Homo-oligomer: A and B are copies of this chain.
Amino acid sequence: MNIKQIDGGITVSKGFSTWGLRAGIKPGKTNRDMAMIHTSAPATVAGVFTLNKVKAAPVKWDSSVVKSGEKVGAVVINTGFANACTGEQGLSNARATASLAASLLELKAENVLVASTGVIGGQLPMDAIENGVRQLVPALSTGIEADSLAAEAIMTTDTRPKKIAFEFELGGKVCHMGGMCKGSGMIHPNLGTMLCFIGTDAAIDKALLQKTLSEIADDTFNMVSVDGDTSTNDSVLVMANGLAGNAEITAEGSDYDTFREALYETLKYLSMRIAEDGEGATKLFEVTVNGAATKKDARLLAKSVVTSSLTKAAIYGRDANWGRILCAMGYSSADFDPDMVDISFISENGELVIVKDGIAAGYSEEKATEILSAPKVSALIDVHDGEFSATAWGCDLTHAYVDINADYRS
């Protein structure tokens, strides 16, 4: 690897600062509920957003900013309300939030992104939002505490903050990339996912940044599923401010490859953290498909298995119910021959071949249960039909998922 993981989060990149605090979006709660990201040098931005036809107001706002070609200076994030299905009022509240932050940071509203997550349908409490923005601007800082508080402030049903940082060299210049994300339920991204923010001090051409992000999102966030529900607010935003001083990457080549590797590892790491922290999850469930005839088939197969409610419930029960895996492959719409399929389970407790040529391999159920008892469980599937592979990430389906979602709004 040409990249090195380091401590920290979004502020490891030069010029980026952040903070998270409680603005009081939902009265009676005590959690931090707003965060801000700032870059002292305006950043080239790329974004991928939900393909849900029902798009939240902040998604509409951010898409237009990303399309406009403007550089961005800040992002304002709130939890509690998703600002989705909120009509004209919702769009106007998103714009007002950007405008307020812009006026305090000496930017234009069009240089400020906004992001919301929480209950669909309710209007943002603008008094609390305004209060939050006014407190966040003077609090912006760099370092571990700032990174941690921001990552914490964007959580909803998440049980832990999710952040990552890498260092790499481009043309002799040390560059950085840091990011954070949130997401636990309504996770089945379609070109994006619930709120992910990446900052880098590398310089890269906007069109190239967008292309790279879109490609990598297909292999990372788009391969994660917690519950099959594609959110109205999914957004992945990457900001590149160029303060590392590298020669701007304008074409493919070794610098591009290094940058792409850093972005891939960042998004992959954060995707896996979302899967592992799926609502009610006790396990990270990773499914790798090898030997597919096309990349598309590999992706369809891996994602269908990781999304199957029955497979997920069996993983929770540490039950090697491989029939459900073959069944989910069968309805995935991918092309393969069921009689050619091999399946193994792998975890820190060992590895076991469960299916050979589409039928039971005569394995030990006790050993299978032991393997499935680990906190990370992988299914390795070979369809012996070609050379393409894909990996998808999900989690188990548990009683706690039902608890969390039977009465989420109260």
A interface residues (Cβ-Cβ under 8 A, vs B)? 51-55, 82, 84-87, 119-122, 185-186, 188, 190, 227-232, 307-310, 313-314, 316-317, 319, 321-324, 326-331, 336, 338-339, 355, 357-360, 397-399, 401-410
Contact = CB atoms under 8 A, between A and B. Distances in A.
A336 to B, nearest CB: 7
B52 A331 contact: yes
A85 B330 CA distance: 11
Contact of A329 (B54, B82, B84, B329): B54
Given A228-B308, A229-B309, A358-B87, A406 B314 contact: yes
> How many copies of this chain are found per oligomer?
2
Given A87-B339, A408-B314, A324 B229 contact: yes
Contacts of A338: 53-54, 85
Interface pairs A-B: 7 shortest CB-CB: A120-B323, A317-B406, A54-B330, A313-B405, A230-B331, A52-B330, A317-B407
Contact of A120 (B121, B326, B336): B326
A324 B120 contact: yes
Contacts of A228: 228, 307-309
B407 A319 contact: yes
B398 A229 contact: no
Contacts of A327: 52, 54, 84, 120, 186, 229-232
A313 to B, nearest CB: 3
Nearest to A360: B121
B408 A319 contact: yes
Contacts of A406: 313-314, 316-317, 319
Nearest to A312: B405
B359 A53 contact: no
Contacts of A324: 120, 186, 229
Contact of A54 (B188, B309, B326, B408): B326
Given A321-B409, A331-B229, A313 B85 contact: no
